[in-house]
Amino acid sequence: MIDANAISDLCQKAIDMRSESYAPYSDFLVGSAILTEEGKIFTGCNIENSAFGPSICAERTAIVKAVSEGSKDFSAIAIAGGKRDGDLQYCAPCGVCRQVMREFCKPSFKIYLAKSATDYKEYTLAELLPESFGPENLE
C-alpha cells in the first residue's frame, strides 16, 4: 500500500521532470517518476530524435535508468504529460512502455496519470495490459 503523500511526491516529481524533456518535434513534454520496492525513486523524461524512431518515452527513460543502476523491482510509476503550452492531460503510457513495464513489474504495479500532485487517475499494469506476454512465457 502506497500512502497518499508518497503518491503525491511521485506525481510532483513526474511533473517537475517535464522541464528536462527534449521534445522539439512534438512539443509534448512528458515526465515520469518510478518508485522501487526499496523506496528509491528514479525519474525520466521523453527524449526525441530528428530521425523520430530513436525517440524514447519518459517511462522507459526512468526504467532504463533504474535497471542500469541495479534496481529492477518496482511498485509504482507516475506519468505527467501535455503540450508545452497547454494543461497537463491524464497521459497514459504507450504500448511499448506498457510492455517494458511488463518485463519488470507485477500485475499489481500502480500507474498514476498525474494532472497535479493531487489530481491523478490510478490504474494497475494488469488493467492497462491485459492478456499480456511476459518472461514466464519463455520458461
- Residue type for 72, please? K
Closest distance of CB 32 from ligand THU, Å: 7
From residue 77 to residue 96, the character string flagging contacts with ligand THU as x (rule: CB under 6 A) and all else as - is --x-x---------x-xx--
- Find the part of the chain contacting ligand THU (CB under 6 A) among 12-20, 52-60, 114-122, 129-137: 52-60
DSSP 4: H
Sheet strand arrangement including 110-114 = 41-45, 28-36, 74-83, 110-114, 120-124
Does residue 105 touch ligand THU according to CB under 6 A? no
Catalytic positions: 59
Shortest distance in whole angstroms from residue 136 CB to ligand THU: 25
Min. distance of Cβ 30 from ligand THU in angstroms? 4
Distance CA 43, CA 101 (A): 15
Q: Which residues of 58-68 are buried (b: 16+ CB within 10 A; e: fewer)?
A: bbbbbbeebee
Binding interface with ligand THU (CB under 6 A): 23, 26, 28, 30, 46, 48, 55, 57-59, 79, 81, 91, 93-94
